Each structure stands twice: as structure tokens, then as C-alpha cells.
Amino acid sequence: MPSLTLADLQAHLGGTIRGNADIPLHGAASLEQAGAGQLGYLLNRKFIEQARASSASALIVPASLESSLSDTLPQSCLAVDNPHAGFARALALLYPESLPLPGIHPAAAVAADCVIDATAHVGPGCVVEKGARIGARSVIGPNCVIGAGVQLGEDCRLHAQVTVQQGCVIGKRVVLHPGCVIGSDGFGLAWEGGKNGGNWLKVPQVGRAILGDDVEVGANTSIDRGALDDTVIEDGVKLDNLIQIAHNCRIGRHTAIAACVGIAGSTRIGAYCQIGGAAMIIGHLEIADRVTISAGTFVAKDIKEAGTYTSVQPLMRHADWLRNASHLRHLDDLARRIKSLEKQLEQS
């Protein structure tokens, strides 16, 4: 782990230093847990008391608050416009990622016609099938499977046990976390039979899954290949763990989706959207740019305008929920009675 000074961080992050610019920093922690030689950060005024009590040697603080904090915080500070982003960049400097040496491990199985850049790394137990191409400085972790004809760009990081199925295209600087599957078959079925019986017939899934540059896919997330057209994840999309994206979906650039979201087939989600955990989105919908969908929300129709959308009921006592559920069952009857009363009023 490198040791940096506050001045070193300023050189990378910009901002203004108050206090000792040469204070050495060898790590980072939360305000509560940070000790000597560690960096913390203050997101906003709400956490000022925690910052005052913190044993951190230095803090990253909001530039908007720096003048009012200068006499109240005992630590040296680096004031930046966006302290959360600044702290993220500082963490990357303090904890640089350790990458394995280039080369193909002897325990990997690689087809003879693959094109693997000399600076790439292919780990033990990997299978790289015919015609696959792996770009410069990309790292393929243990037990990954790279299907036939896959194109993997430069500077990608595939953690252990990632599967990229045949023909899929992965852009540059893509991170795929353990157990995620790119290009699995979509749930395409046709019913073959009559009223008295029959069976489901699998519809071959002949499209691809295409991931743009700077995409990150969480552990055990599945992105289905297209049925005919491609499933497309545009540049900068960030996907959490345990997400299902069905065939022929398109996710717009820089959209972020939290864990346990399910997105049914042929749905198009715009750019810069944010989708909360466990949201459910049915198929063949259009969602506009810059839409925020709250956690647990069920989306059953198009969203045509930017904004925040929520459909989940707040928590309540079980007895209250039973009473409310009983009222909901009678809403249709209540609506008819109101319409009848309105007609009577109009006629009177």
C-alpha cells in the first residue's frame, strides 16, 4: 500500500488544502473507524460532529463548506467540489489494484486460433474457445469461460468464474464480477399443441449480448443474448449483483441498476437512469432518459418523462395491511357507486 501526502492527492484531485499538506497517508476509513495516517471524508454538514470527533489525520470535505469548517475541524483538509467522487479517486490511489503478470497459465485451455494480446493474462482453469480475441492488458481470472468468437476489448477485468457465451462483444475497461453470465439464452419459447396437450418448443436465440466501454457487471448477474437482434448495454452502465436482463433489452449509457432487479425482454431503458433494488420491469416498455425508479417498484407501462417514480406501499402493521387490503377489494364497487351518485347529482 503506497504512502501519499495530502499534496499528492491534491495533484490528482485538485481542490484547496487547509492545514498540513505534507501529512503522510497510508490508508482510508470511515469517520468512526479512521485513525492516525488515514484519510476520511465529510459528505455534507450532517456529519460535521462525527468529523470533529474522528481520529483521521486528514479529511476530504466539500468546497462549499470549507470556509465555515476551517476553524472547527482539527484535521488537515482537502476541499473539493464533489467529496464523494474525490474520496473514490483517493481510494484508487491509496489502494491500487494488483494485477497478475501477462501470459497464459499452463492449466488454461485455449483454442489454437484465438488471438490473445501478449500483455493479457489468462488464469488457471480458463477455457477460451475458437476464434476468441482478447485485448491488451485484459485479465481473465480463474475458471472463466470465453466462448467461440467472443471479442474482449482492452483493459478488461474478468474475475473468477465469469462466462461470456459465443459471439458476444465486450468493450474496453469492462469489469465482470464473479459468476456473472453474459450471453446466456433468453427465455424464448413457442407453445406447440392444441387444447388437450402439447409442449413448449425452444426458440433458438441467435442474437448477441454487446457491452460498451466502462461497463461494470456485478456478481451472479445474467444478461441474456438477443433472440434475433442484440441485447445492448451501452457505455458506462453499472449493474449490481443478482440482476436479470432478458433478451433484446437495451440499457442506455451511464444508467445504474441496483441488486435484484428483473427486466423482462425487449425493454429499452434510457441514459442516466437510476433503478433501485428489487424493482421489476415488464417487457416491451420504453423508459425515458434520466428516470429514477425507487426500490421495489413494479413498472408495468412506459415512462415517457424524466423524474422519480415509486409504486411500493410503505411498511405498516399486519393488521392495518389486512384492513387496507379488504378496502382495496371493494374499490371497483365503490367507484361504480360514486359514478351513480354523480349521475344523480347531475340530474337533480
In the set 121, 159, 177, 247, the catalytic residue is: 247
Mean pLDDT over each residue of the chain, to the nearest integer:
95
pLDDT at 70: 61
Local structure of 239: helix, strand or coil: strand
For 3-45, the pLDDT digits (tens) are 899 999 999 999 999 999 999 999 999 999 999 999 999 998 8
pTM over 0.75: yes
Cα gap 203→167, rounded to integer Å = 18
Taking CA atoms, 106 is separated from 12, 110, 111, 118, 292, in Å, by 39, 10, 13, 15, 47
Cα gap 280→131, rounded to integer Å = 37
pLDDT at 219: 98
pLDDT at 196: 84
Class of domain 4-94: alpha beta
The type of residue at 114 is: C
For 268-306, the pLDDT digits (tens) are 999 999 999 999 999 999 999 999 999 999 999 999 999
How does residue 109 score in pLDDT terms, banded at 50, 70 and 90? Answer: very high
Choose among 29, 35, 36, 37: nearest CA to 3.
37
pLDDT at 197: 87
The stretch 116-133 carries a mean pLDDT of 98
Residue 97 grid cell: 489494484
Contact 73, 51 (CB under 8 A): yes
Whether pLDDT at 2 is above 90: no
The type of residue at 336 is: R
Q: Has 247 been annotated as catalytic?
A: yes
Cα gap 232→98, rounded to integer Å = 30
CA atoms within 13 A of residue 234's CA, in its CB half-sphere: 15
Contact 152, 146 (CB under 8 A): yes
Residue with cell 495530502: 6
Residue 1 grid cell: 500500500
Whether pLDDT at 1 is above 80: no
Cα gap 296→3, rounded to integer Å = 43
DSSP code for 307: E
CB under 8 Å to 218, separation ≥6 — which residues? 177, 180, 239, 240, 241, 242, 243, 259
The stretch 152-172 carries a mean pLDDT of 98
pLDDT at 168: 98
The type of residue at 160 is: A
For 51-86, the pLDDT digits (tens) are 999 999 999 999 988 677 666 889 999 999 999 999
Choose among 8, 3, 5, 37: nearest CA to 22.
5
- The ranges assigned to domains in the chain are 4-94, 103-309, 318-347
CATH 2.160.10.10 for domain 103-309, yes or no, is yes
Residue 247 grid cell: 433478451
Strands across the sheet containing 163-164: 109-110, 127-128, 145-146, 163-164, 181-184, 222-224, 244-245, 262-263, 280-281, 298-299
Cα gap 53→67, rounded to integer Å = 19
pLDDT at 71: 67
Tell me which long-range contacts 178-181 makes (C-beta under 8 A, separation of at least 24). Answer: 178/141, 178/219, 178/220, 179/219, 179/220, 180/217, 180/218, 180/219, 180/220, 180/221, 180/222, 180/223, 181/221, 181/222, 181/223
Cα gap 348→345, rounded to integer Å = 5
Find the range with the poorest average confidence among 12-21, 59-68, 223-232, 321-330: 59-68
Choose among 333, 339, 275: nearest CA to 309.
275
pLDDT at 3: 85
